[in-house]
Amino acid sequence: MSAKESFQQLVQPYFEKGLKSALLTDREGVVILEYVSPEAPAGVTDPSLSTAFSIANNQASKMGLKRNKSIIGIYGLHQVIQIDCYPLIISLVADATANTGLFLDFGDELQKMVEPMVAALQDKH
pLDDT given for residue 97 in this prediction: 96
pLDDT given for residue 12 in this prediction: 95
pTM higher than 0.75: yes
Q: Does domain 3-124 have CATH number 3.30.450.30?
A: yes
Q: What is the distance between the alpha carbons of residues 96 and 8, in angstroms, rounded to a whole number?
A: 22
Q: Is 125 helix (H, G, I), strand (E, B) or coil?
A: coil
pLDDT given for residue 35 in this prediction: 94
pLDDT tens-digit readout, 20-79: 999 999 988 899 999 999 989 888 878 777 777 777 777 777 777 777 788 898 988 999
pLDDT, average across residues 98-112? 96
pLDDT given for residue 83 in this prediction: 93
pLDDT given for residue 54 in this prediction: 75
What is the 8-class DSSP label of residue 41?
A: P
Q: Where do the structural domains in the chain lie, given as residue ranges?
A: 3-124
Host H or E run for residue 3: helix 3-11
Cis peptide before 38 (omega within 30 of 0): no
pLDDT tens-digit readout, 76-96: 899 999 999 989 999 999 999
Does pLDDT of 124 surpass 70? no
Q: For residue 17, what pLDDT band results from cuts at 50, 70 and 90?
A: very high
